[in-house]
Amino acid sequence: QVQLVESGGGSVQAGGSLRLSCAASGYMYRSSCMGWFRQAPGKAREGVAVVDTDGSTTYTDSVKGRFTISKDNANNTLYLQMNSLKPEDTAMYYCAAERADYGCSRSPLDPENWFGSWGQGTQVTVSS
């Protein structure tokens, strides 16, 4: 029901910054859980950051203090500010959204708990 398009990826040196955007179109539920996930070659997709319906956020340990997730409800856009990037952050980054009338899953970073919409991804490459 919701189409998601990521942008903002690119190639940066370690220590640099990027800001990813995820624009949503189509029907958007009043209460939605939105998040960022990433997948490196040969690795499983993992949750990076999630923002709940009440604005609370959840981050995977490896990005805490470096990444910030936010959303602009008026423009149906999700953001991921990525600072102090490391080579291990290199991956395809995807955004996701799903209806969440009562908040996100108790394990929101698990991609298997997401049954809504997914974007096509934007590549982030960090060189050492």
69-126 pLDDT per residue, tens: 999 988 889 999 999 999 999 999 999 999 888 889 889 999 998 888 999 999 999 9
The pLDDT of residue 1: 75
Structure tokens given for 89:
């952050």
Phi-psi label, residue 120: left if phi above 0, alpha if psi -120 to 50, beta otherwise = alpha
Residue-wise pLDDT for 18-56, tens only, equals 999 999 998 777 788 999 999 999 999 999 999 998 899
Report CA-CA distances (Å) from 97 to 12, 58, 71, 86, 115.
27, 15, 12, 26, 8
